[in-house]
Structure 1
């Protein structure tokens, strides 16, 4: 059997007549770059609205799987249209060289950046964020879609206003599912992957686990399962049992900790669903404490967010190469993040909060991470390319 040539494989990815993107949009500055292409700011010629255009170079697609992934991502975004907290797909176009995916621009930055920038942060604020995240996941599950890569970096603010809505992005690893269907492919991101995903037998419940990890970080500034390598992180995930005794947990409400335990239940069949989590008193009652969680939590969130950005840059080094200016910025970012030297303190009492960074800076063992990059819909000042990880 002969392997299909690239030209045959990518002749008509969208199964529709070719269309010139320039007939509809004016392309602007570059927002991000990945191995398969580039994202530009673009302007709708009719309305003047600014959007993000992800242009995927067809010549870089070498397998049927990569072509199908593009079709699937577009189909899923179409299927999820209408939810106020899901990035809106505005159109998909194909010409001889590229597939162009146009979607709304999120110019408000990443979730953790917004939290870190606020002077006041409380359980009530975290409860509101989790309510939004769970509503997104519940909607996806009702529409028979598992996201499979829920993490803070995939939640962006639509604009810079204080009341800007939160939007979930990146459906590159998402799948349609049928009731009772079991998936075996190990995908996701180390800190957020569910134990059953690592075991190779999972369903929609894995999304709820990822939400539980996000909630844990929102309240403490550090992930519940950590290690200096991905293997150590995965071993911790498989054991479960998140620590809810050390700082800041004595100051966190019992209701919040109860929800975390329910979302991070090892057995997926006993784990709370997204719909039931929305009905949990800590989320539904809107009565969580408005007392500040403290400067230490905010500082840890800020450092964790900075570490994630550094990992994105590290992935870009491998996939696309960094310019001298970007390398200089990377060094500066690390110095700013590590003023107290805690990023290197893996054997001190601060190990609980420092150890996660080590894994963020190590090359991933997930082979497809290095050759499959996704592009953000964020404004240029807030985001760099992120990796689509398939964990091994």
Structure 2
């Protein structure tokens, strides 16, 4: 029997006007250096000088002196590739995402700078932690905690679908991350099964990854970039008229639908057909599989997959929904993340002058 959850890797493109021509030679290095100085300054304004200075490094401090690379590829984000490395001091595994400036378009450099600025300011158990940043004239490396449990996509593929308690517990973890991010004025904009990973193979603890499309917002911010991954994208994103974190909540609805059913609510043979179904909010909860889903579970989905974002649940509202509450009354205590002791151990070596 064929897998009912296709692998949606095709991202929507940003509007052409946001992509510059390929930068050449020294202009790349100079413009990138300027961008990253501004990123660092804004991050310091948000979270303080010490939390940034202790994690953001330039020569003579080099990533090769701090980490050894084993050549194991972990994946690819929307702007850079990710490999595994180990701390030369502690042996702790980490994930390293590398951006090579010479091969990047101006628009991609802007996306990279935005990703670093957003990720530097995030600190939550269900958000993959950015441990350090290493910048040189040729490249930028993000050192992140290594989540080796695999993607949520592969769990669904192996299990075909989740039962309601497991789906609700998974949704709650994602909601905790989204509620934290939205409360701090950050929207992810590419929430999907592939960007939800487990911290360990024997664990059900989820973390959000890949902040390449994330951005900051305020109550007055209007966004018009059509980006994300088509199967998960909200109607208002396709219309290039959205605000706040509503598009993330639609994407969460798609994820929960897939967890419960094992297939996408807006499948189609062509992109045009998928877009048409998304714009109409045309999905169905019929058939034997949905007979086993409770009314509360179906109500939860209907309140997330609303075409009009003003009628959609916010993360805070979704956390209070009866379907989440009834399946997550008992929550396991959080285990201490192994990167936390290492972060404290490195703190005294941080230099404000770096």
Q: TM-score, normalised by structure 2?
A: 0.75
Other-structure match for 1:47: 90
Other-structure match for 1:10: 29
Other-structure match for 1:141: 182
In the alignment, the residues of structure 2 paired with residue 36 and residue 167 of structure 1 have an alpha-carbon distance, to the nearest angstrom, of 19
* Equivalent runs, 1:102-121 vs 2, <5 Å: 102-117=143-158, 121=162
Other-structure match for 2:108: 66
The answer to whether the Cα contact below 8 Å between 1:10 and 1:58 also exists between their aligned partners in 2 is: yes
1:69-92 CA deviation, whole Å, 9 max, x = no partner? 1111111111112x1111111111
Instruction: Give the 3-state SS of the residue equivalent to 1:149 in structure 2.
Output: coil
> 1:241 and 1:164, CA in 2 relative to 1: closer, same or farther beyond 3 A?
closer
1:187-235 CA deviation, whole Å, 9 max, x = no partner? 1111110001111101221111110111111110111112101111000
1:229 matched to 2:254: no
> 1:188 and 1:4, CA in 2 relative to 1: closer, same or farther beyond 3 A?
closer
In the alignment, the residues of structure 1 paired with residue 324 and residue 256 of structure 2 have an alpha-carbon distance, to the nearest angstrom, of 11
1:150 matched to 2:191: yes
The answer to whether the Cα contact below 8 Å between 2:162 and 2:259 also exists between their aligned partners in 1 is: no
In the alignment, the residues of structure 2 paired with residue 180 and residue 115 of structure 1 have an alpha-carbon distance, to the nearest angstrom, of 38
> 1:40 and 1:101, CA in 2 relative to 1: closer, same or farther beyond 3 A?
same
> 1:39 and 1:117, CA in 2 relative to 1: closer, same or farther beyond 3 A?
same
Other-structure match for 2:63: 21
State the number of aligned residues. 284
Instruction: Give the 3-state SS of the residue equivalent to 1:180 in structure 2.
Output: coil
In the alignment, the residues of structure 1 paired with residue 187 and residue 248 of structure 2 have an alpha-carbon distance, to the nearest angstrom, of 7
1:177 matched to 2:217: yes
Instruction: Give the 3-state SS of the residue equivalent to 1:285 in structure 2.
Output: helix
Q: TM-score, normalised by structure 1?
A: 0.68
> 1:32 and 1:108, CA in 2 relative to 1: closer, same or farther beyond 3 A?
closer
RMSD: 2.3
Give unmatched runs, 5+ long, in structure 1: 289-392
* Equivalent runs, 1:204-283 vs 2, <5 Å: 204-283=245-324
Q: Cα offset for 1:270?
A: 1.1
